[in-house]
Structure 1
């Protein structure tokens, strides 16, 4: 394997990361043969503790479709970042791997300066991620890109307690179901009123300590897949992304939807909650017909499966079923 390119990175030294890349190449070559595809493409964006993969296969007939990332590739990403990290330039933030069935050779490029854009290019990295990246993979000043420096500067203006309180907030919102409080297990509220009372109480206790003027939580969901965007609007106008881990974001969307299921309309697919620090009142909007944008980024097979499962779990009457929910759903 010889086709490896470093973009804005250190000089490629012989042997650095070579063993890991060879392992990826061998595993991927077998995967391509077993799959029968014409080409495989994989990109990975990362910063701090966050990473987002995307994978595509091109069939022998030339059809390109999104697929779940093979574990044989994903498992090497953190190790490759560490192996290729440089004392002056830090670690790469973006990589692209691909292989054609015609030669079964791994092609790879790594970029040290590219800004990762998560959620299919819709979400820039959080200020906290910029700070953590530079803490874990320090860079010389001349190799810190503008977007990373700006994120670090904003992070320093946010009270340090914000990060700790974010964790505390979600522990209070989503206690482990196995945690015992006296003789009682935690039970999530099963009504809209109960859900919003709990959200309002916990957010109201938490928001003043962040130094922010407002918090917004936007969630798009279908079946058990969700994309949740949570942001603090600081008093100086800066927007701070609060990154939820997958279990916490899923738990909120799943439980909140279940509590608001309607026998006629099914479950909502879009929610917006917000609170201003001046009044500490929770405001909410829900929509049962909004098509989640992330459906455009998955394969037809995955999309059909999700939509079919949505209709099975949360049935709707025909007049309350939007066309996008039925057109792409395949129900066995």
Structure 2
């Protein structure tokens, strides 16, 4: 990422996890809004935050994007981008009824979960969707099969959920959960419903898993872990939890001003990572702030390599060529 140092980490140094920051799905969503503005001109409307990061949203607003909560806030005939987190079919139907030019920026990995939910619902299964109630992704996935989907919020949710037919049951998961928390919930579900089926493939996003692996590595090699991301970014908050679960102090940092002086007392090595929705400039700003406080030696620790790239929505493919 351009912050490599040949020095070994020592007193007052930084370990930077790689990969950190934008994943392929987030990059696709942000580029979708940028290209829509270039093709159609401002304003381009975006339902909800296209990705859960305040700096990204503010930058797109300055470029002419208008963020709305619901489709009925968008003028008839306008351009509307649907966020990376995915939406229920009813949202697309509402956009069509208003004559909107809807461009779908849903992450393909979320779309995969939607396809799974739709297929199992058509086969007559109830779906136990492990995730955070109210999160945009969970709301969208539950909306694919609203009569058959039960949102399971952690172990308490697993112990309380009731289903019509325990023999026709499958679990799916929000893509930004940690592998560990998902496995704990599935174990609990299996105690109650031994016949529950697994999803056909892993629902947890590869990028989320890679960043979680980085947070674990940092926790074992650092005195403190700082995670760049916004408070409403589920995957960023999970990185803090992963580091803390390893016994290392960890904090979410939206910008350098969030650093509290006491955090760095007695800290020689700071581990830095970032959620999948955090832009590179936010990571750079944190590193610059740490350098000003004496943490100038930065070493990148690569825990995985990501070469994934997702194609843009078809409405913008020709325009971007």
Q: Is TM > 0.5 for Structure 1 vs Structure 2?
A: no
Larger radius of gyration: 1
**Structure with more of its chain in strand, by fraction:** 1
TM-score interval for Structure 1 and Structure 2 normalised by the shorter chain: 0.3 to 0.5
Higher relative contact order (CA 8 A, sep 6+): 2
What's the TM-score, normalizing by structure 2?
Answer: 0.34
